[in-house]
Amino acid sequence: MKPEPKQEQKPGSSPANPASRPGTDLAKPATTQLTRPLDNRPAYLRKADGEQIVGFEFMGQGDYVLPRLALCQSGTPQRLSGDVKYIEGLAEGDFFNTITRKVFGPTVHIVPILFFKSRLLFRPMDQGGGLICQSFDSFLGVGLPGGDCLKCPLQAFGPDGHRPECNLLHNYVSLVIDQEGNTSPSELAVLALKSTGLTVAKDFNALMRMRRADMYAGIYEVGRARVTNQVKQSWFKPAIKNSPINKGWVTEEALQVAKLAYEAAMALRAEGRLKVDVEDLHPEAGRGEATTEM
């Protein structure tokens, strides 16, 4: 019996691996089946399996940013009534989505799918604030001063031990999981840890590595712990551990969603289009150490 000949890929056709296709977009779920667990659309607006949503054909990932999974502090803008970002019901110590404004409370469960580092440099608040330099890979800065991050003096600690002016972030593109272990691409958000939160990030990295499985194989519980410094300033920092949901492992359905999200995130990362909402991450924003953790 002769083996069947391999089918050659026609010129211009898409490769089998969606992560290698340019323009892969996290905003486009692959099928209704994968989004059904947390789908709150009316039945008459749902699409058939494989049918794409329309109207977004000319919108790229560069036209918007991924939401951040943030931890509310005493000076977080979303907590201050009268602020344009105010979220009703958000309390200090709550986790929330910076774009959808969904409040998760003091604990949230996530499936991390991709880790990457980045850097942010803000203008001092007394000079008007604002982001002036950013590195999407932690090596090449864009803006002022820009250039090689490792050679930039702003990324290093000062001779007196003063923390760097440029902030290094450990980012985890993640899917939020409900209590039944369900998720969907619409639950995508980025957990960004910076400043003294890097200790939490390193512990989290070790916890994930100990599973000896793909990053998106595990479910983790993200809580918070209050920290107080020598001058009596206090804030919350994340506390991460294995989740009790499904014994800490993703369900088969959630695994399929995570795989698709991973492939899309990898493609966007390779194209330099994986951008995160960082508008309220200025280190001087809020009160005391309010934003140094997340």
Residue 200 lies inside a defined structural domain of this protein? yes
pLDDT tens track for 99-122: 999 999 999 999 999 999 988 888
Specify the amino acid at residue 234.
S
pLDDT at 6 over 60: no
- Residue 47: inside a domain, yes or no? no
Instruction: Give percent above pLDDT 70 in the chain.
Output: 79
In a domain, 199, yes or no: yes
Q: What is the pLDDT of residues 197-223, one digit of tens each?
A: 778 999 999 999 999 999 999 999 999
Q: Is pLDDT at 182 greater than 50 in this prediction?
A: yes
What average pLDDT score do residues 38-55 get?
80
pLDDT in tens, 56-82: 888 765 666 889 999 999 889 999 888
In the predicted model, what is the mean pLDDT of residues 267-282?
78
In this predicted model, which residue has the larger pLDDT, 34 or 171?
A: 171
CA dist 90 and 190 (Å) reads: 19
Could you tell me which residue, 26 or 234, shows the higher pLDDT?
Answer: 234
Assigned domain for 22 exists: no
Q: Considering only the C-alpha atoms of the chain, give the largest distance between any 2 of them, rounded to a whole number of Å.
A: 80
User: Is it the case that residue 15 has pLDDT exceeding 60?
Assistant: no
Is residue 170 scored above 50 in pLDDT? Answer: yes
Once rounded to an integer, what is the mean pLDDT over residues 165-180?
92
β pairing state of 147-148 and 167-177:
unpaired
Domain that holds residue 87: 66-270
Rounded to whole angstroms, what are the CA distances from 49 to 31, 130, 147, 255, 257? Answer: 5, 43, 46, 18, 14
Q: How many domains does the chain have?
A: 1
Quickly tell me which residue has 């993703």 as its tokens: 250
* 34 belongs to a structural domain: no
Instruction: Let me know if residue 56 belongs to a domain.
Output: no
The alpha carbon of residue 192 and the mean position of all alpha carbons in its chain are separated, in whole angstroms, by 6
Pick 201 or 130 by higher pLDDT.
201
Decide: 121 and 114 in contact? Cβ < 8 Å. no
From the list 191, 194, 195, the residue with the least C-alpha distance to 220 is 191
Is residue 26 assigned to a domain?
no
Q: Is the pLDDT assigned to residue 278 strictly greater than 60?
A: yes
- Give the best-scoring range by mean pLDDT among 4-18, 91-105, 120-134, 158-172: 91-105
Rg (CA), the chain: 21
Q: Can you give the pLDDT at residue 37? A: 40
**Per the structure block, which two tokens stand in for 154?**
């702003």
d(CA 138, CA 170): 10
Q: What residues contact residue 16 under an 8 Å CB cut-off, 6+ apart?
A: none
Q: How far apart are CA 210 and CA 289, in angstroms?
A: 31
Nearest to 169 by CA among 291, 26, 73, 72: 291
CB of 292 closer than 8 Å to CB of 283: yes
Q: What is the mean pLDDT of residues 239-250?
A: 97
As a whole number, mean pLDDT of residues 270-274 equals 81
- Span of 16-30, 124-138, 141-155 with lowest mean pLDDT: 16-30
pLDDT reading at 123 higher than 80: yes
Q: What is the mean pLDDT of residues 217-236?
A: 92
pTM > 0.85: no
Paired tokens of 136: 């999407």
SS3 content of the chain, % helix, strand, coil (to 5): 25, 25, 50
Let me know if residue 76 belongs to a domain: yes
